Amino acid sequence: MPTQAKQQPNQSISGFEPYKEVKGEEYMGKPMRDHFTKILNKWKQDLMQEVDRTVDHMKDEAANFPDPADRASQEEEFSLELRARDRERKLIKKIDKTLQLIEDEEYGWCESCGVEIGIRRLEARPTADMCVDCKTLAEIKEKQVGK
């Protein structure tokens, strides 16, 4: 009979404990804002470290291969890495925008309808700026326009 693995306490992907609301606590009060600020700063730090690793990797691996196929493979690998870093650069900008919203005490409310986005949704996607309903409608509209 297989043994069951010891279960870890429920943690988010970034290693943070899910926020535990206190009864009667104000939505997006200082403790909640501090919680999301820590998550976003850690995420940004991880992305910045990945950028540094990419630069180091490209410097170390850059070689002038005599074989055209080897050169093409290396160029394709570098191209994929740079594309991934470009997406991460855009994400870092979005994280910075979200950190500014927290500082301005405007974080946590849907930019479309103004309702609370919700703590669990924000923990899953800290840069979310729409509630689930508005985001779903926006995606439906996007699909219709795209056809």
Note the pLDDT of residue 101. 96
Domain region containing 93: 27-107
Note the pLDDT of residue 70. 81
Beta strands (DSSP E) in 54-114 are: none
108, 116 in Cβ contact below 8 A? yes
Q: How far apart are CA 144 and CA 36, in angstroms?
A: 34
- On whether residue 139 sits in a domain, the answer given is yes
Note the pLDDT of residue 94. 96
Angle at CA of residue 41, ends 17 and 95, nearest 5°: 110
- On whether residue 62 sits in a domain, the answer given is yes
Domain containing residue 62: CATH number: 1.20.120.910
Cross-strand pairs, 116: 109
Note the pLDDT of residue 29. 94
Same domain, yes or no: 75 and 147: no
Note the pLDDT of residue 8. 38
Q: How far apart are CA 89 and CA 95, in angstroms?
A: 10
- On whether residue 119 sits in a domain, the answer given is yes
Note the pLDDT of residue 118. 93
Residue 109, SS3 per DSSP: strand
Same domain, yes or no: 85 and 145: no
Give me the average pLDDT of each 10-residue run along the chain (147 residues): 40 69 91 95 92 78 77 85 90 96 96 94 95 95 83
- On whether residue 38 sits in a domain, the answer given is yes
Note the pLDDT of residue 10. 36
Same domain, yes or no: 62 and 102: yes
Note the pLDDT of residue 2. 42
Q: What is the CA radius of gyration of the chain?
A: 21
Same domain, yes or no: 77 and 127: no
Note the pLDDT of residue 74. 82
